């Protein structure tokens, strides 16, 4: 299947990176290379793009999409480990980093990957196919309490307890192995009046995907690491699609701008807060109405930008 992915907030992100034509930039979520191609269009041969992705199929597609460019370095890896990736590849500081978080359009459309609640496929949802944890393992081995927490926190699903209870009841009869089986369990767990706002399985599938790929927990540290790896004047652009993601990015940005973390009742600061840069946009940038109409994925997208001093 062709790796198609329409980049969200493309112009806003490119503008936010403040690209200089002979500098080094990182796309930490390379995907279909939509953002990367736009970056490369603005670079001279003396500039360079480093593309990182944990999905081997994405890297393969990106190499094809960017084959006309010679100033690209492709790295198989997870952006959460960006510091070790830099060390292993002798990369010191760079002038801009982009993180476009969440699942790509290709991964959703490629039904056999198990990300989608449409069709009937194996419960997988791994962005990196080499890892052991799959959606099937989460659904069949996590406790009812763990499932309810994940579905509530990561999916913001108010019927999380009922869904978790029914999953555990069904898996006593037989292992749950396909997306269709999971969809049926979710569907019977949600009352009719609550099914008007999109597909009933959407929030649960999102939650399981986030758990499988550990998308939230390391994010704060990842943002801090990215800022640390920027040259003076370098920028970090982060696109989020979930409130928990956005919250982690906002907190990391605020602390990098020197916001005190001490309890409010302390008479003076003891946390050693230090300003290492500035937030470019206090409010996140969202997609225009035109883009939201053309690309439904952009409706929940938020772009935050930070500049290193």
Q: Which superfamily is assigned to 116-213 in CATH?
A: Putative methyltransferase TM0872, insert domain (1.10.150.170)
Strands 277-279 and 302-308: antiparallel
Listed by start position, the domains of the chain span 10-102+216-308, 116-213
pLDDT the model gives residue 1: 44
Share of the chain above pLDDT 90, in %: 83
Structure tokens at 178: 């396909």
Structure tokens at 243: 């409130």
pLDDT the model gives residue 261: 76
CB 280, CB 307: distance < 8 Å: yes
pTM above 0.85, yes or no: yes
Domain spanning 10-102+216-308: CATH 3.30.230.20: no
Q: How many residues does the chain have?
A: 309
Note the pLDDT tens digit of each residue in 183-218. Answer: 999 999 999 888 887 899 999 999 999 999 999 999
Helix axes 144-155, 160-173, angle to 10 degrees: 140
Residues facing residue 287 across a β-bridge: none
pLDDT the model gives residue 297: 87
Of 55, 157, 165, nearest to 104 (Cα)? 55
pLDDT the model gives residue 106: 64
The secondary structure element, H or E, covering residue 146 is helix 144-155
Tell me phi and psi for residue 151, to 5 degrees: -65, -35
CB 261, CB 271: distance < 8 Å: yes
3-class DSSP state for residue 285?
A: strand
CB 28, CB 99: distance < 8 Å: yes
Neighbouring CB atoms inside 10 A of 220's CB total: 16
Residues of the chain scoring pLDDT < 50: 1
């Amino acid at each position: 299947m062709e790796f198609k992915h329409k980049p969200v907030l493309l112009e806003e992100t490119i503008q936010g990176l403040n690209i200089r034509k002979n500098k080094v930039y990182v796309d930490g979520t390379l995907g279909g290379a939509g953002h990367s191609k736009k970056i490369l269009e603005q670079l001279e041969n003396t500039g360079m793009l480093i593309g990182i992705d944990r999905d081997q199929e994405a890297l393969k597609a990106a190499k094809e999409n960017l084959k006309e460019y010679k100033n690209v370095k492709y790295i198989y890896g997870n952006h959460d480990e960006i510091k070790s990736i830099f060390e292993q590849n002798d990369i010191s500081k760079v002038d801009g980093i982009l993180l476009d978080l969440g699942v790509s359009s290709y991964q959703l459309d490629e039904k056999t990957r198990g990300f989608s609640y449409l069709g009937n496929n194996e419960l997988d949802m791994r962005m990196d196919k080499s890892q052991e944890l799959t959606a099937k393992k989460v659904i069949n081995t996590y406790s009812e309490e763990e499932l309810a927490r994940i579905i509530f926190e990561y999916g913001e699903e108010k019927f999380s307890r009922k869904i978790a209870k029914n999953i555990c009841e069904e898996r006593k009869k037989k292992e749950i192995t396909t997306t269709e089986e999971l969809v049926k369990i979710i569907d019977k767990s949600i009352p009719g009046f609550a099914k008007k706002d999109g597909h009933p399985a959407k929030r649960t599938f999102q939650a399981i995907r986030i758990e499988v790929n550990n998308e939230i927990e390391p994010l704060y540290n990842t943002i801090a690491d990215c800022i640390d790896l920027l040259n003076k004047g370098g920028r970090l652009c982060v696109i989020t699609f979930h409130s928990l993601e956005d919250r982690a990015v906002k907190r990391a940005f605020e602390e990098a701008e020197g916001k005190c973390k001490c309890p409010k009742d302390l008479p003076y600061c003891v946390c050693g807060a230090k300003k290492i840069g500035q937030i470019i946009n206090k409010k996140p940038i969202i997609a225009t109405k035109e883009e939201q109409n053309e690309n439904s994925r952009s409706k929940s997208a938020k772009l935050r930008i930070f500049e290193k001093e």
